[in-house]
Amino acid sequence: MRQLFEALMQHHLEWKAQMVRLEQRHLALLTQLQESTEMIDENAITTNDEIEIMYQAIYNRALRCMEMNQLFLNPRLTLDELAKQISTNRTQLSICINRITHSNFNSWLAWYRVNHLLEQYNLLCQETIPPSLDELYEKSGFASRSSFYRQFKSVTGLTPSQFTKQQNQQKQE
């Protein structure tokens, strides 16, 4: 399971690095678009490049908000609420998430929550006796045990009990 956790963390780091590269690559074009107006005028965008830059800008705002404010810890976080936080509408944000991550908002949010839970689990395992995942799911933004189990399996491919069993086996080896 450590390998799965490390693979997830590596994927997360690669994903962040890719976002930084994309942001740098489009910074010049985005700056040009924003010189004439403070916010991007969605009605004035005409080319595919401009559309992609707009989506990337919205997505980058969502990423920063999720990372800095850890909104994913709120079990009642909705697409509408995140859209308000980053000053866009739910449709634009949904399109951005779908186009850039190839997943929907709920899957994207589950990924954040599961990764947070795994980070907390890993930290606690280093300090004390491994905690039960059931002790951590509420602190990672899951609204219920059933949604936690469903989303954990969706992200990791394992149920929480399979994950725990695999972790215990690895420690014994």
Cα 105 to Cα 78: distance, rounded to the nearest angstrom: 9
Using one digit for the tens of pLDDT, what is the confidence trace for 65-91? 998 999 999 999 999 999 999 999 999
Task: Please identify every stretch of the chain with a pLDDT value under 50, giving residue numbers as ranges.
Answer: 26-40
pLDDT of 49 reads: 74
Q: What is the pLDDT of residue 53?
A: 84
CA distances in angstroms from 63 to 60, 69, 82, listed in the order given: 5, 10, 10
Q: What is the domain partition of the chain in residue ranges?
A: 2-104, 110-172
- In this predicted structure, what is the pLDDT of residue 28? 46
**pLDDT, position 12:** 61
Confidence (pLDDT) at 86: 92
Q: So what's the pLDDT on residue 46?
A: 58
